[in-house]
Chain A
Amino acid sequence: EAGVAQSPRYKIIEKRQSVAFWCNPISGHATLYWYQQILGQGPKLLIQFQNNGVVDDSQLPKDRFSAERLKGVDSTLKIQPAKLEDSAVYLCASSLVGGGPSETQYFGPGTRLLVL
C-alpha cells in the first residue's frame, strides 16, 4: 500500500513570496491533516479535513495560510505572503474514517520550507 505522498520535498523562498505544498493521502482515507513542525518541536495541527469539508482549522493563521481539498482526495496548503517564522517542515497525514480517538494517523515525509 502506498503511503502519503507530498511534494515538493524542499522549498526555499524569500519572505513575502508565496508557496504551495501538495499532498496525496493514502487511497481511501477520508480524513486529511496538515501539520507544521518547527525544528526541535513536535508537529502542530494546522487544519483537518474530512472528505472535502474542514473539521478543524482553529490553529491555521488564516491571514496568510489557506488550504483546500476540493475533490476530497488530494490537498494543497498555501502560504501567502511567507514570513521568516514560517520556516518549518509541513507534514501531511491521513486516517481512514473520521479521525476519531482510536484511529491511527499516517504521515507523509514532509516538505521542508526555508524562508530567507
Chain B
Amino acid sequence: GESVGLHLPTLSVQEGDNSIINCAYSNSASDYFIWYKQESGKGPQFIIDIRSNMDKRQGQRVTVLLNKTVKHLSLQIAATQPGDSAVYFCAEKVGRALTFGSGTRLQVQP
C-alpha cells in the first residue's frame, strides 16, 4: 500500500501493550480536539473527540486526555493490536475550521 508519510515520528509497541500518542496544539480558542487514524491508501478515520471544556474522554479501548495548561493532547490505546498500525493525527477545531497537526506513525510488533 501507499505510505502516508515517510519521515513521521514513529512509536513502536508490542502487541498487547498500551500506546500513548502525544500532540501539542497552538490555538487556545479551539472548541474541539479530534484524533484521526489514517491507514496506507485510505482517508483519515475519526477515532474520538473531546470538547475543550473537558479533560478526559473514554471510548472503546481509547482514551483522550486534554491538558489546556500546557496545550497538550494525548491518545491512549489499550491492548494495542496489529490493526492499530497506522498514522495518527490530532486535529483542532475552531468554529467550522479543522486544522490537522503533524502525524505519528504507530507500528505494532507481533
A positions within 8 Å CB-CB of B: 4, 33, 39-45, 48, 55-56, 91, 93, 98-102, 104-110, 112
Contact = CB atoms under 8 A, between A and B. Distances in A.
Contacts of A39: 3-6
Interface residues of B, number: 32
B18 interface: no
Interface stretch (B67-75, B76-84, B90-98): B90-98
A42 B89 contact: yes
The binding surface of chain A is classed by DSSP as loop
A40 B6 contact: yes
Interface of B: 2-8, 31-32, 34, 36, 41-46, 49, 51, 89, 91, 93-103
A44 B100 CA distance: 7
Contacts, number: 66
A104 B46 contact: yes
Given A40-B5, A100-B96, A107 B91 contact: no
Contacts of A106: 46
A45 B42 contact: no
Given A42-B102, A107-B43, A108-B43, A56 B97 contact: yes
14 contacts: A39-B6, A40-B6, A42-B100, A42-B101, A42-B103, A43-B100, A44-B100, A48-B96, A105-B98, A107-B43, A107-B44, A107-B45, A108-B43, A110-B42
Contacts of B102: 41-42
A4 B43 CA distance: 10
Contact of A102 (B32, B45, B101): B32
